[in-house]
Amino acid sequence: MKKYLMMAQWSPYIAGALVGVLAILSVVVTTSVLHKAQYLGASTTYVRAAGIVEQVVEPEHVAQNAYFQKEKVKVDWQMMFVGGIFLGALAASLLGRTAKIEWAPPVWRERFGANPLIRAVGAFIGGFILLFGARLAGGCPSGHGLSGNMQLSVSSLLALVFFIVGALLTARQLYGSDGKGGL
């Protein structure tokens, strides 16, 4: 057991199969304990977290917003799930000795240089667009990509196809087909 926990990496097939089992167990356990099936997902947490932050400044504005009313601004199962991802990844990276401080990743550096400020701007803009898009589409690669497709949902298959189309076209523009710089 210890040997496996300390390995730097696992086969993606093994890790993927374990996530499949985890997703099934989560639905079964939450159905019996909470009487509500909790499927894995992440993007709604950012809405609730934004609401919690905004409440500090303008509580009335948050109370009146239809989307915050719909998604309920509170700490819930999914927010703890997203927080748990941090702890789990931290433990895995420390055990496997794969944690590394990095301000600009290698592929990015080759194309846009090592300046952490330029990477920060890119990451911020990307994060902004992707979360807006995820909420419009109704989910992200966790909620739609994993959970929705496990349920053979039409909306999730459609969403995953367009996630990938958008990403492939954009990556090709940004990095070129050789990964060394595009248009």
Partner 1 sequence: MELFLGLITGILFGFFLQKAEVLRFEKQVRFMLLKDLTIIKFMGTAVLVGMVGITALNQMGVIALSLKATNVAAIIMGGLLFGVGWAVAGFCPGTAVGALAEGRMHALWALLGMLFGAAAYAEAYPVLAKTVLTWGDYGKLTLPQVLGVSPWLIIAAFVAGMLLLFWQAERKGL
Q: 1 or 13: whose CB is closer to partner 1?
A: 13
d(CA 131, CA 43): 7
Cα–Cα distances in angstroms (integers) from residue 38 to residues 25, 52, 144, in the given order: 10, 22, 13
* Smallest separation, CB 110 to partner 1 (Å): 11
Q: Which residues contact 150 (CB under 8 A, 6 or more apart)?
A: 20, 23, 39
Is the Cβ–Cβ distance between 12 and 24 less than 8 Å? no
Q: 31 or 59: whose CB is closer to partner 1?
A: 31
Q: 107 or 113: whose CB is closer to partner 1?
A: 107
* Smallest separation, CB 1 to partner 1 (Å): 13
* Smallest separation, CB 182 to partner 1 (Å): 10
